[in-house]
Chain A
Amino acid sequence: MNAVELAQALWLLLAALGLALSVSYAGLPVLGQGAFVAVGGVGTALLGPGGAGLPLGVAVLLAVVAGGVLGQLVALAASRLDGASLGLATWALAWLVYRALLAFPEVFGGAQGLVRTAPAHLVAPLLGTDLVLTPVVHVVLSGLLCLTAIAVLIRLGRGPGGSDLLALRQGPEVAAGLGIPVAARRRAVLTATASVGALSGAGTVVLLGLVAPADVSPLLSLQLFVAVLIGGAATWWGPVVGVALLTALPLALDVFPVDTERLSGLLTAGLLIAVLLIRRALRQAPHPSPGRTAAITLPPVARESIWRPSLLNAENVCVRFGSVRALEDVGIVLRGGQVHALIGPNGSGKTTLLRVLAGDLVPGSGVVTVGGRPLVEQGGPAARVRVGVVRTPQRTSVLRTTAMRQVAIGRRGGSRPRYAVLRHLLATPNAARAERSSEHVVHAALDCTDLLAAAEVDATTLTVAEQRRVQIARAVATGAEVLLLDEPAAGMSATERAHFADVVRRLAGNGLAVLLVEHDMRLVSDVADRVTVLAEGHVIATGSPVEVQADPEVRRAYLGTALA
């Protein structure tokens, strides 16, 4: 292998590392990295020396920016949470760019591509240097860029960016509920991937002096995708192994006498299938767990220092679904330090009220205020998390990772210092401080939900009761002042319920306002300070558990005679 081939492979590796950020770190199915490589390559060839005649550095910079802008545009399609549309959009983009290059030969040189005499000089008049870009210089330059990319990927995984990426990869819905701005994070990730892809394309065209459609075809997109998928989730070595394989592929193909382009397509498909089968086997295999006795070496923290009392107030809330009156003139007050239970028969409007209080449903009339400000004015779920209202989902939905990392996602969602990811990458002193305070919050949240012993185990292997507490710990770590819990004790045994009641009391003791939707009257009378009873969309009683249980109307509508 000579220097040109090595440099070419390293530029390709750079594109794969950029793609790894989206695919294996953020779990986004990007099937069109070739398109971004093409934009970088063609842009440099068209703008630079031999084209529009801009200085090489400027041309490369503009081409990279163009790639990044294209990535942003495609990310608009990623607003759906399933991510599948993003796969389709990037795959369509790969073909669009390829076919457009072929369709306009007078601009892009048709099947031959754009040939530019290799602009071998990088002139920097300010520094007074004139660097000749020999293949060896390319090897050094692309090698350094690849090492930088690997270093960034590794460091990213360890800081606040790691929490963001884990959230994107494993549970965008959960993450959105915890205040992580999922769509914005996806846009950032895709922009980075696209820019690095474009840089790789620019480097290749400067090296070879040629960019042909066949070199940036959808097949390249797929080969890069396969290369990235080889390593599985969140690994930097996957792309390295994958690109090594891809580089060896043409050498192996020379043995066969048939059309090599078709054969390399077939081989790519075969590789993709093989990688998919391995991936499937890995997903089904049980996760190794390091044992439940894993010790955590964080210092204990005074619990009271983190939270302060607060107030959520709903007045005259009415909700109608068509002609069904789900809620009629309902009011509720949640005070800091108080556990408020919401009970009522099925279909009485409990979950509807919970959605209204969480801001997920805008009532037809009535107003919900948090700390005196109307909730609806706060914006999306991320903004509502920041004002301190978090709702845990009714069904258990823990991510396939340790409780500690999930709670860290909650912390990340609740407090979003600007440019935290960038600061962490640059290791500013500020970032180290923020990291320590994050660790304190995570530790405190795990501590007050009695999860410290189970903190470093894959949460999907925990018991249902523990998983419910993970959900609550995540919500607590956002710094929430109002916790809305939808039937959190469903499926728990009697002992687990008693333990759960302790945890809820402890949260209230720390000053949180807790709203508990619950069917189990025993749990309610154990834990609640106040009870609101809903029936057919109306509040029929509010008071202490004892008062409510004695209320004849409540007995008629809900409790029945069983308790008498």
Chain B
Amino acid sequence: MLLQATISGLAAGAVFGLVAMGFTVVAGTVRVLHLAHGDVVVAGVLTAVVVVLGRTPVATQLSPPRALAFAVLVLASGAALAGLVGLLAVRPYLADATAGREADALGWLAGLVAAGLLLREGFGLLLPQEAYAVPDPLRLDAFTGVIALPGGGALPGRVPVVLALALLIGVGAERLLVQSRFGKALRAFADDPEAAALCGVAGRRIVVLAFACAGLLAGIAGLLDAPGRAFSVEDGVVLGFAGMAAALLGGLGSARGALLGGLAVGVLQAWVVQADGRYADVVPLALVVALLALRPRDRVSA
């Protein structure tokens, strides 16, 4: 049973890791804690649901072209929504030397919370049911077999596939963030926005691009996560906090740390849930509070 919990925890954790990588990209580049990130994951998936299936979606097998459209829509709307959030809710509150403006953390925190609330309640009005079955454009449900595990317990065939895919994408994205020109531009901006601007990295654009990049990762996470279960508008908040817990655990700076942190959070949650299912939501939330409180003080404090 412990093995079953561990493997499904790893699969859930790999998805958390993708969410956490998005959170880390924003935190590392723009120095902003993306409080609406989880809601973007959900909103990306639900945009595709509304566009492809309408407001009363029935979980059907999608034809290949519609499946493709669905998958592309999830990724595109994730990136677009996140970019918009960055543009409207965050950028006006960042320090801007040319406009002589100081950073206003209270402003972007409130802006992000408002954005998350808007997405959540807006989609809640569009899709009023408690939860939905989201179709799987990747056809991972083709892996119908149930794997019997040694020591009792069984695993739906989908779980190891999700784990493998999420890890593969996570590692690939990490490499891209480290090695690509875009990744280098992000890091240059993070180190010193003004110096980066002198080297041709457009700061105002980077903010939006970092958010869009996080949104793309959010879309991938949603695509892997949503079809496996009853998917609710409200899921975004806890998913986002799980990602934050993972990112904090990974040191809030490295994409690799975020991925590993995600695996740790997923396994921890699965173990706790194995013992008592009522703690499912409590674990990531309590982890965020605890990790913030226990974080080493890294700057001047009197």
Contact = CB atoms under 8 A, between A and B. Distances in A.
Interface of A: 23, 27, 29, 31, 73-74, 76-77, 79-85, 87-89, 91-93, 95-96, 99-100, 103-104, 173, 176, 179-184, 219, 222, 225, 229, 258-259, 262-263, 265-266, 268-269, 272-273, 276, 279-280, 283-284, 380-382
Interface string B267-291: 0000000000011111001101100
B35 interface: yes
Contacts of A84: 32-33, 105, 109
Nearest to B121: A265
Nearest to B103: A82
Contact of A265 (B115, B117, B286): B117
Interface string B87-113: 000001100000001001111011101
B114 interface: yes
Given A80-B297, A91-B113, A266 B302 contact: no
A269 B105 contact: no
B302 A273 contact: no
Given A88-B33, A93-B289, A182-B301, A273 B114 contact: yes
Given A31-B109, A89-B289, A89-B292, 9 more contacts: A29-B105, A74-B289, A87-B106, A88-B33, A88-B292, A92-B288, A95-B285, A219-B117, A280-B107
Q: Which of B32, B110, B125, B281 has the most CB of A within 10 A?
A: B110
A183 B33 contact: no
B124 to A, nearest CB: 5
Given A266-B118, A276-B110, A85 B289 contact: no
B120 interface: yes
B160 to A, nearest CB: 29
B300 A181 contact: no
A505 to B, nearest CB: 32
Interface residues of B, number: 48
B244 interface: yes
Nearest to B111: A276
Contacts of B107: 276, 279-280
A76 B293 CA distance: 5
Contacts of B278: 103-104
B288 A89 contact: yes
- Listed from nearest, the 5 A-B pairs whose CB atoms lie closest are A265-B121, A96-B285, A77-B292, A87-B109, A269-B117
A80 B298 contact: yes
Nearest to B123: A262
A382 B124 contact: no
Contacts of B241: 92, 95
Nearest to B277: A103
Interface string B23-60: 00000000111010000000000000000000000000
Given A269-B117, A280-B107, A77 B302 contact: no
Contacts of B106: 23, 27, 29, 83, 87
B295 A77 contact: yes
Given A100-B282, A382-B302, A85 B109 contact: no
Contact of B293 (A73, A180, A266): A73
Q: Which of A179, A183, A265, A276 has the most CB of B within 10 A?
A: A276
B113 to A, nearest CB: 6
A262 B125 contact: yes
A269 B301 contact: no
B172 interface: no
B238 A99 contact: yes
5 contacts: A89-B292, A92-B241, A180-B302, A380-B301, A381-B300
A263 B118 CA distance: 10
Nearest to A177: B300
B117 A92 contact: no
A125 B147 CA distance: 68
Contacts of B117: 219, 222, 265-266, 268-269, 272
A103 B279 contact: yes
Nearest to B122: A266
Contacts of A76: 293-294
Contact of A269 (B121, B288, B298, B302): B121
B181 interface: no
B229 interface: no
A274 B39 CA distance: 21
Interface in B108-142: 109-111, 113-115, 117-118, 120-122, 124-125, 128
Contact of A81 (B115, B294, B299): B299
Contacts of B255: none
Given A182-B302, A380-B302, A272 B281 contact: no
Given A259-B125, A272-B114, A95 B300 contact: no
A77 B282 contact: no
B104 A283 contact: yes
A381 B301 CA distance: 8
Given A92-B289, A96-B285, A79 B110 contact: no
A233 to B, nearest CB: 10
Contacts of B279: 103
B202 to A, nearest CB: 22
A87 B33 contact: yes
Contacts of A99: 238, 281-282, 285
Contact of A173 (B35, B114, B286, B300): B300
Contacts of B297: 79-80
A176 B302 contact: yes
B249 interface: no
B237 interface: yes
A416 B64 CA distance: 73
B125 A222 contact: no
Contacts of A184: 302
A96 B289 contact: yes
Q: Which of B33, B104, B114, B280 has the most CB of A within 10 A?
A: B114
A258 B125 contact: yes
A93 to B, nearest CB: 6
B113 A81 contact: no
A141 to B, nearest CB: 32
B242 to A, nearest CB: 11
A558 B135 CA distance: 74
Contacts of A280: 92-93, 104, 107
B302 A381 contact: yes
A95 B237 contact: yes
Contacts of B92: 280
A499 B111 CA distance: 46
Contact of B300 (A23, A73, A176): A176
Contact of B110 (A104, A176, A225): A225
A266 B115 CA distance: 10
A77 B302 CA distance: 14
Contacts of A273: 111, 114
A345 to B, nearest CB: 23
B236 to A, nearest CB: 11
Given A96-B285, A272-B110, A279-B107, A262 B124 contact: yes
B87 to A, nearest CB: 14
Contact of A74 (B280, B293, B294, B302): B293
A279 B118 CA distance: 20
B243 to A, nearest CB: 12
Contacts of A83: 105-106
B293 A77 contact: yes
Contacts of A88: 33, 35, 109, 244, 288, 292
Contacts of B32: 84
